[in-house]
Amino acid sequence: MKTIITTPSSDLAYSDFLHGGNVVHLPHLDTAPADEVLHHLTVHAARGLITSRRPPEHVLRSWSEHITGTTFLSYVTGTPGRSGIRDLVEFTQPDGTLPALAAALSGFERWFTLQRTVPLPPAPGPDGKDVVLVGAGIVNLITALYLWRAGHRVTVVDGAPAPGGDDWRRYGCTHAGDDARMFTFTEMDSYNNQDFHSGPPPYFRLPVDRKGWLATGDRPLSAEERGWVEEFERVPSWLARAYNQDVFAFTAEAFHEWTALRRDHPELFEDVVLTDDVLRLYADPDHRRSALARHRALGAVAREFTPDQLAAEFPALAHAFENGALAGGFLVPGFTVGIHRFTHRIVSFLRERGVVFHWDTPVRRVRRDGSGTVTGFDCGVPIPDDAHVVASPGVQGRALLAGSACEGRIHGVLGGWMRIGNERARLPYSLKVGRRRHVTEDANVTVAVDGDGRPTLIVGSGYGYTGAGTDADEAQLDAIRLGIMDTVERLFPDQSHPTASSRAGDNYDFKYCVRPWTATSLGIYHAETTVQGRLFVINGGHNTGGFAQAPAIARAVLASLGGQPHPMHALYHPERFTAFMPEGAPVATAPRAPAASSI
C-alpha cells in the first residue's frame, strides 16, 4: 500500500522508512495548495496520507472517490469532518517525529490487515466434529487437547516414529531437540531490524563462523531461499516493531491459557521438571539496561538484582561475575518444562480419552483441483472427506504447503544442544543468557533431570539457517557447538560432563533441531475450505516460540472450526506483509564486518 508523508522531517532521510518504495516523502506538499496534494495522491495511487494538518473536506472526499478501497489519514492538527466520508479511516498523531510517523504507519497497516481478513465459512453443523491433526509437535498436541475438550473426535498422524524410539535426526523440532522448553513473555521475538536508523542485519549473508547465521556451507542458495532472505531484509523497522507487538500480544494470551491449563489439568504437569520463573543474565551492562526497560514496559519483571546480589544468591554464578562474563540480570515470570516428559504425558492423556495416534504416517501430498481447492490428502491412513484437517508442518512438511499461500514461507533455522551436570551448581531457576556479538548470542540454560533423576542443565543456543530443508554444513554446526562450549566454560568453569544416564536419549555430546521460521518473524495461520466444505488449517513458522504460543494457536484453531474470528487469523496471515508491501527493490545494504569477539 502506497503512503505519502508530507510532514517535514530531516530524520526520514536517515531512516529505513523510505527504502522499500511504499512510503514516499514529499515535504513540499505540507504547505502546497490542497488541489496539488490531491493530484499527488491520485498520481501515486496512494491510500495513505500522513500530514501536519487535516486537508479540506472536499480533497478527502475526492481522494476517497478516486481510490479503490479504504483510504487512511493521520495528522497532527485537525478534527474529523462531520459528514463522515465513506471508506476513510483517520486519526491524529502527537507530532512529526520518527516514533509518531512509525505509529501512524503501523496504524495504517493494522487497519489494512484487519480489513482484508478472508471471511470464515459458516459454523459447521453437529456432523463436523472429526478433526485430523497432521504433525505431533507441541503445537498440535496442545491443539489436540483443546479440540478434545471441545468435544471433537481427534486423530493425529505424524511422519516420524513414536517419540523416543529412534535416532533424534528422524524427528521434528519438538522431539529432536533436548528435553527442555521455556515460556517467557518475549520467547517468540522479531529478528528483523527494529532500529529506525539502521539497515537489516546481515544474518543470512554471513556464515555462522563469521557471526552470521548461514549454515548451508558452499551450497548456493536456491531462488526460493534468496527470495526468503530478501523478504527478511525488506521488512522496515517501523513494521518490525508493529509485528513484534502482535507477537508479544499472542504470547500474553498464551500465558493466561497456560495458567488455566495448569489449574484444570495439573496431572499433565506432574514429573515434568516444571520450574517457575526465569533468570535473565547479560554479559553487557547496556544490553541488560535495554532488556530491563523492554521487560518493564511489558510488565514482565518479577525481581531486580544488583550484580552483588546475584553473585551472593546464586553462588554457582559468582565466578562468572568475577571474571566479567556476566554484568547483571533480573528475574522474569515464566516457566520451563522437560518437553519430552510433558509431551509423553499429553499423548498418554489423550490416548486414554480416545484420541488416535498414527506414527510413521506422513501426508505425502495435498490434492487440489484445477481451481486450487483442496480435494483430499494422500496419507498412509485414510483421511475422511468429512474431517477438518489441521497441519503444523514444521520444516519437514513442505508437501503440506504446496498450492497454498504458505508455500515457500517456512524455512529452517537450527539451534544446538549440550548438557552439563547441575549437582554442584544446584541452580534453582532456568536461565536466559545474552551475549551480544557472540556466535551463540542467546542461550537457554534449563533446569532438568536425567533418566536417573540426577540434576542436569540443558544448554540450547545458536542460529543456523538451513534454508528450505534441514541439512546443515558440518563446519557451521561445529561453530555453534564451539560457541555453546564457550558459554558453558565462561559461566560454569567447574562443571563436569554429566554422568551417563540409563535413558539413551540423554547421552550425547552435541545435537541440534531445526526450527520453523518465517522471513517476517511472524507465525503463519492459514485456513481454507475444502471441496467437501470442511476446513484445512495450516499453522507454523513460530521460530523460537512454538511452545510458548501453543495454547493461543489452539484457541485460533477452535475459533476457525466454530466459524468465529480470532486476531491470529489476520495478524498471522501468510500474506500479511506482501499484501501491504508488494515486492519492490530490497533494502540496499552491504554485508558489515562483524565486531571482534573472543569466539
CA distances from residue 438 to 95, 316, 543 in whole angstroms, order as listed: 39, 22, 20
pLDDT category of residue 6 using cuts at 50, 70 and 90? very high
Q: What is the spatial distance between Cα 128 and Cα 421, in angstroms, rounded to a whole number?
A: 50
∠ CA 71-76-79, rounded to 5°: 70
pLDDT at 585 over 90: no
In the predicted model, what is the mean pLDDT of the chain?
93
∠ CA 305-332-281, rounded to 5°: 55
What are the pLDDT digits (tens) for 276-313?
999 999 999 999 999 999 999 999 999 999 999 999 99
Cell 486423530, residue located:
155
Q: What is the spatial distance between Cα 395 and Cα 518, in angstroms, rounded to a whole number?
A: 10
CA distances from residue 332 to 123, 393, 548 in whole angstroms, order as listed: 40, 31, 14
Is 0.75 topped by the overall pTM?
Answer: yes
Q: What is the spatial distance between Cα 153 and Cα 172, in angstroms, rounded to a whole number?
A: 25
Q: What is the spatial distance between Cα 400 and Cα 365, in angstroms, rounded to a whole number?
A: 6
Which backbone phi and psi does 533 adopt, to 5 degrees? 85, 15
SS3 227: helix
In terms of DSSP bridges, do strands 181-184 and 328-337 run parallel, antiparallel, or are they unpaired?
Answer: antiparallel
What are the pLDDT digits (tens) for 125-171?
556 699 999 999 999 999 999 999 999 999 999 999 999 888 888 99
Q: What is the spatial distance between Cα 571 and Cα 556, in angstroms, rounded to a whole number?
A: 11
The DSSP annotation for 253-287 comes to HHHHHHHHHHHH-GGGGTTS--EEEEEEEESSHHH
Cell of 226: 534468496
pLDDT at 126: 59
Count CB neighbours of 593 within 10 A: 10
pLDDT at 28 over 90: yes
Helix spans in 409-566 (H): 474-491, 546-561
Q: State the DSSP H helix or E strand holding residue 430, giving kind and residue range, or none if neither.
A: strand 430-434
Count CB neighbours of 79 within 10 A: 9
- Judged on CB neighbours under 10 Å (0-12, 13-18, 19+), 84 is exposed
Q: What is the mean pLDDT of residues 221-227?
A: 97
Q: What is the spatial distance between Cα 443 and Cα 462, in angstroms, rounded to a whole number?
A: 7
pLDDT at 311: 95
Nearest to 119 by CA among 597, 587, 533, 528: 528
Check: CB of residue 365 under 8 Å from CB of residue 378: yes
Cell of 38: 490531491
pLDDT category of residue 107 using cuts at 50, 70 and 90? very high
pLDDT at 587: 42
pLDDT at 425: 85
pLDDT category of residue 124 using cuts at 50, 70 and 90? low
For residue 39, what are the contacts with CB-CB under 8 A and spacing of at least 6?
none
Q: What is the spatial distance between Cα 351 and Cα 355, in angstroms, rounded to a whole number?
A: 5
Q: What's the DSSP call for residue 504?
A: G
Dihedral sign of CA atoms 145, 150, 154, 156 in order: negative
Check: CB of residue 441 under 8 Å from CB of residue 484: no
Q: How many separate helices (H) and strands (E) can be counted in the chain?
A: 15, 22
Q: Percent of the chain beyond pLDDT 70? A: 95
What residues are paired with 282 via a beta bridge?
Answer: 328, 434
310-317 contact pairs (CB < 8 A, 24+):
310/281, 314/279, 314/427, 314/428, 316/424, 316/425, 316/426, 316/427, 316/492, 317/281, 317/491
75-82 contact pairs (CB < 8 A, 24+):
75/50, 75/51, 76/7, 76/51, 76/52, 76/100, 77/52, 77/53, 78/53, 78/54, 79/54, 80/54, 81/57
Cell of 187: 520467547
What are the pLDDT digits (tens) for 467-491?
999 999 999 999 999 999 999 999 9
Nearest to 140 by CA among 325, 363, 333, 474: 363
pLDDT at 230: 97
For residue 320, what are the contacts with CB-CB under 8 A and spacing of at least 6?
326, 490, 491, 492
pLDDT at 91: 94
Q: What is the spatial distance between Cα 453 and Cα 358, in angstroms, rounded to a whole number?
A: 31
Which backbone phi and psi does 102 adopt, to 5 degrees? -65, -40
Check: CB of residue 18 under 8 Å from CB of residue 24: yes
Cell of 67: 481510490
